[in-house]
Structure 1
């Protein structure tokens, strides 16, 4: 695992965007695994700026980590809407080359199987972007999450729902109780992993994931088993690491 500590949050996001762009430029048919959240907004902002200066997304395919369930794709609080507004509508990726789990699927188990099939049909994810939640989750893999799990319907922890309340007018009770998420095993199948965490609020869980035991109680700890994982932190998020990053 390669741990990179940037001086501040924006520098961390710029470093992440630069690595994503390098992967895209160096790969004939890039397959991106994408994430959502406040940290990702800054990364996508930088990537949109790179696109305006010549970075093309036309050859890319993308798969998002997760989506609330149930929620309609056109709901402004959905991750479909998040991705459209933060990235997709600003770059030259065709809509049919992007995929987010369908939070309105009448049969969620069938949707999860189809999602796994689509990732395999695309040749697998080349680079998976990740954040880390306060419960240690990657995607919505709440504790405990077996490291062999595949895309599935999960129950969300109250901590996670409170953390994500901003998109629901700060009413955490309105955040859906369930979500569709790539499993830990699905994430670990990606050829490269790139996790980004910023801010002092993430310092404890970053320490638990990177310095604590590798355990299903902290699904992000599974990243330490991956042969090509980079973690980018700002100084605040790295503040409790034994190595200091």
Structure 2
């Protein structure tokens, strides 16, 4: 009998379709934020109505213009697209993390809860999601450098998150409209960061998925 039996390759969960879903969701979210940015430009070009802002001292003082009503629709669609993108991206990330554990044969550096909690816990959300992605990459390609797209994606994500006018702003839609009339440059900079992060994330998804597909049967 032959005592030198080749080790069986690791059995990984399929990632192709969750990766395609993540890419499509990222494209949808990016398109939604492009529409939002264009609406910011339209609001800034139109200028504040002669009747003044929608709200003054907490009280509504006029009816919204058609352009302002349109922005409410664009903003709501963008929020839904962003939620779909987040859920789909997390599904992809969880699938690849499980596969990475199989490939490495040891527990990941971050427990499974951090795949989700790492995005919302203050301070921890500055590095843990990137760390999860880096661990996934190193499990599949331990000798390879981290793809540049990961650093671009994370840098743009932090700008969008910390800008105060991007992903994490606490203003109401009407307050964002007021910002567009007054300081549209800040809104457009945040929009550009979100759109750039979505584009970079597509390359991240493709790169990490390709690494794991090398082990597919």
TM-score (norm 1): 0.23
The higher radius of gyration belongs to 2
Bigger share in strand: 1
Structure possessing the higher relative contact order (Cα contacts under 8 Å, 6 or more residues apart): 2
Bigger share in helix: 2
